[in-house]
Structure 1
Amino acid sequence: MLKHFQKCIALLLLTACTYATAAVSVVDDAGKQVSLPSPAKRIISLAPHITELLFAAGAGPYVVGVSQYSDFPAQARALPMVGGSNAFDIEKIISLKPDLAVVWRSGNSAERVAKLRSAGIAIFESEPRDFANIATNLEKLSRLSGTEQTGYAAADEFRKKLKELKLKYQHQPPVRVFYQIWRSPIMTLNGKHMVSEALRVCGGENVFGWLPSLAPTIGAEAVLEANPEVIIAANGGKIDMLSFWRRFPQLDAVRRDNLFTVDADWMNRAGPRILNGTELICSQLVQARKKRASVSQVNP
């Protein structure tokens, strides 16, 4: 009888511990505590970078709805779309019965996000502003979805690759870079954007890093005055942003044929693929340094 009683107590304690450990809690990028009674099994993603983060963190099987342009990985294209980042369909989201919505803090409508909260949906606000924050997002999202083994491994791999890139390129001779995100008007990114962090990893210097606006509009005259050694265009489709600059042979970037492109999705989405873009940029700056050496030999 006593042994039976002891077994019952032990079973009750084990059950209680199991329920206690099932609850998950993290702090999101807005500094808010996000707590769930158990890992989320029905998740809504409200930005393309969030979709990529969730899949990389191992939570892909639990994503039941995504925002427009969530086209990577390929599996995401088959998921129900709940509208654009700033005009998502609240009723459709509620009908999918999510236990977690991961929102883009600066890209989603604050009013609509508030309505999701009022509907009782747990919210995680994602806003990676640097490479370190991408890794922590992977870890936090994996904790919320119960896929820590995959998410923490992905974060470790991201940090490892970043460290390798820094060791290889960061202390190379600096290269002055103009990074263009739009053609008309001409737009770039300042030093606070994650793209500038990628440039720094490669030993590049953003010639417009000093501008106060995150995505400033500039004139062709400003580029001519800055005279970058390299121009990199974020290629998001069929728009050719580089042909315009070929009419200015006085630019070092044109004279040395240092006109490059990089996949805009790699660089604009704060997900693991940003290191693919960073690695490509690093290789482009290596080419520019080699051409610089050739010019020095011709003109001692």
Structure 2
Amino acid sequence: MKPYVLSAAVAVCVSLSASLCATQAFAAITVKDDAGNSVVLEKPAQRIVSLAPHATELIFAAGGGDRIVGTVGYSDYPAAALKIPRVGDHRQIDLERVIALKPDLLVVWLHGSSERQLDSLRKLGIPFFYNEPKKLADIPDSISRLGKLMGTERQAEQIADEERARLAQLQKQYGNRPLVRTFYQVWGKPIYTVNGSHIISDMLHLCGGVNIFGSLGVTAPTVSTEAVLLENPEAMITGERKTTQGLEIWKQYPDLLAVKRDNLFSIDADLLNRAGPRLIDGATFVCEKLELARSRRVDGR
């Protein structure tokens, strides 16, 4: 009887161990998104629909570009993103096309009129990961969390650590430099800017810049020409696009400090307008431009 009992006990242990291993192999993945919601997947995501260009860039950075089965207009980086089928843009999403792709994860950005359509997708039970970095440090954090959702943690953490190191270097180099009062122009007609809660303001802060409209209550407010002239910024920065009314509109005001010192700086819009890894490239350029503005001061003022 004893050998039989022992064998039975061993068999039970082996069975329990196998069950435990299977449970561990397919343990649910849980991460928090930027809305504070828990995103739960039974297994790593294999079919992802990205509903924002910056999200597409983050997914590629996290090692999951080949898992994106659908995305939206302007998802044009990296080059491989151009080959991904489109399911709409920031104004409207083709819900039937999204459903037909059978995604196991949606990465979304809740802006634009397409936001209303997402409610219909939620009812289908497709997991949502809401992503909206508010600080530059949120970018590598987003890469890490997406890597966990896709089971690509090793690559994702490597890239995330590299981005954190780049930010730390910029902070070390520019964080204690003399402040530069800066106007950031999103659009020129009407004049749009950003307030202190926008990620662009965090970029300016990193580079030793001060957003002259940081205290406004609206994230992307319109401001008047008179308001800008009254603030008299030392530097002006915009994301350069052919369709954008650029900083040339300010050259008619020669007494404006930024104009007087030739501190009108245009930077590639894709490096400033998307909260993906390339925004850290944009931050490098912004820091360099603000340092140039410091060099043009008279007697250090």
TM-score by length of 2: 0.92
Equivalent residue number for residue 243 of structure 1? 248
Aligned length in residues: 296
Equivalent residue number for residue 20 of structure 1? 24
**Pair 195,96 (structure 1): closer, same or farther in 2 beyond 3 Å:** same
Query: Is the 2:134–2:198 Cα contact (8 Å) retained in structure 1?
Result: yes
Query: Is the 2:189–2:245 Cα contact (8 Å) retained in structure 1?
Result: no
What is the rounded CA distance, in whole Å, between the counterparts of 2:21 and 2:90 in structure 1?
39
What is the rounded CA distance, in whole Å, between the counterparts of 2:284 and 2:148 in structure 1?
29
Equivalent residue number for residue 35 of structure 1? 40
What is the rounded CA distance, in whole Å, between the counterparts of 2:289 and 2:74 in structure 1?
28
Residue 198 (1) aligns with residue 203 (2):
yes
Question: Which residue type is aligned with residue 33 of structure 2?
Answer: D
Equivalent residue number for residue 280 of structure 2? 275
Question: Which residue type is aligned with residue 277 of structure 1?
Answer: G
Question: Which residue type is aligned with residue 14 of structure 2?
Answer: A
Query: Is the 2:53–2:274 Cα contact (8 Å) retained in structure 1?
Result: yes
Equivalent residue number for residue 232 of structure 1? 237
Equivalent residue number for residue 285 of structure 1? 290
What is the rounded CA distance, in whole Å, between the counterparts of 1:67 and 1:9 in structure 2?
51
Query: Is the 1:30–1:105 Cα contact (8 Å) retained in structure 2?
Result: no
Query: Is the 2:50–2:71 Cα contact (8 Å) retained in structure 1?
Result: yes
State the Cα distance separating 1:4 from its structure 2 match.
10
What is the rounded CA distance, in whole Å, between the counterparts of 1:111 and 1:279 in structure 2?
36
Unaligned runs of 5+ in 1: none
What is the rounded CA distance, in whole Å, between the counterparts of 1:97 and 1:28 in structure 2?
21
Residue 10 (1) aligns with residue 17 (2):
no
Cα deviations across residues 140-185 of structure 1 (Å, max 9, x unaligned)?
1111111001111122111111111011001101111111110111
TM-score by length of 1: 0.92
What is the rounded CA distance, in whole Å, between the counterparts of 1:244 and 1:124 in structure 2?
40
Equivalent residue number for residue 120 of structure 1? 125
State the identity as a percent: 45
**Pair 83,203 (structure 1): closer, same or farther in 2 beyond 3 Å:** same
What SS does the aligned partner of 2:76 have?
Answer: coil
Query: Is the 2:90–2:111 Cα contact (8 Å) retained in structure 1?
Result: no
Equivalent residue number for residue 57 of structure 2? 52
State the Cα distance separating 1:120 from its structure 2 match.
2.8
What is the rounded CA distance, in whole Å, between the counterparts of 1:69 and 1:123 in structure 2?
21
Cα deviations across residues 60-97 of structure 1 (Å, max 9, x unaligned)?
11111001111111111100000012411111011111
**Pair 9,50 (structure 1): closer, same or farther in 2 beyond 3 Å:** same
Cα deviations across residues 220-272 of structure 1 (Å, max 9, x unaligned)?
11111111111111213353512111111101111111111122222221111
Query: Is the 1:202–1:281 Cα contact (8 Å) retained in structure 2?
Result: yes
Query: Is the 2:61–2:159 Cα contact (8 Å) retained in structure 1?
Result: yes
**Pair 281,76 (structure 1): closer, same or farther in 2 beyond 3 Å:** same
Query: Is the 1:46–1:108 Cα contact (8 Å) retained in structure 2?
Result: no
Unaligned runs of 5+ in 2: none
State the Cα distance separating 1:187 from its structure 2 match.
1.2
**Pair 72,4 (structure 1): closer, same or farther in 2 beyond 3 Å:** farther
Query: Is the 1:49–1:269 Cα contact (8 Å) retained in structure 2?
Result: yes
What is the rounded CA distance, in whole Å, between the counterparts of 1:124 and 1:249 in structure 2?
48
Residue 161 (1) aligns with residue 178 (2):
no
What is the rounded CA distance, in whole Å, between the counterparts of 2:209 and 2:104 in structure 1?
43
Query: Is the 1:106–1:127 Cα contact (8 Å) retained in structure 2?
Result: no
What is the rounded CA distance, in whole Å, between the counterparts of 1:108 and 1:39 in structure 2?
30
State the Cα distance separating 1:5 from its structure 2 match.
8.6
What SS does the aligned partner of 1:239 have?
Answer: coil
Out of 233, 238, 259, which is 2:264 matched to?
A: 259
**Pair 161,5 (structure 1): closer, same or farther in 2 beyond 3 Å:** same
Question: Which residue type is aligned with residue 103 of structure 1?
Answer: V
Out of 64, 69, 72, which is 1:67 matched to?
A: 72
Query: Is the 1:44–1:101 Cα contact (8 Å) retained in structure 2?
Result: yes
Out of 167, 191, 194, which is 1:189 matched to?
A: 194
Cα deviations across residues 204-224 of structure 1 (Å, max 9, x unaligned)?
111111111111111111111
State the Cα distance separating 1:20 from its structure 2 match.
2.8
What is the rounded CA distance, in whole Å, between the counterparts of 1:109 and 1:240 in structure 2?
26
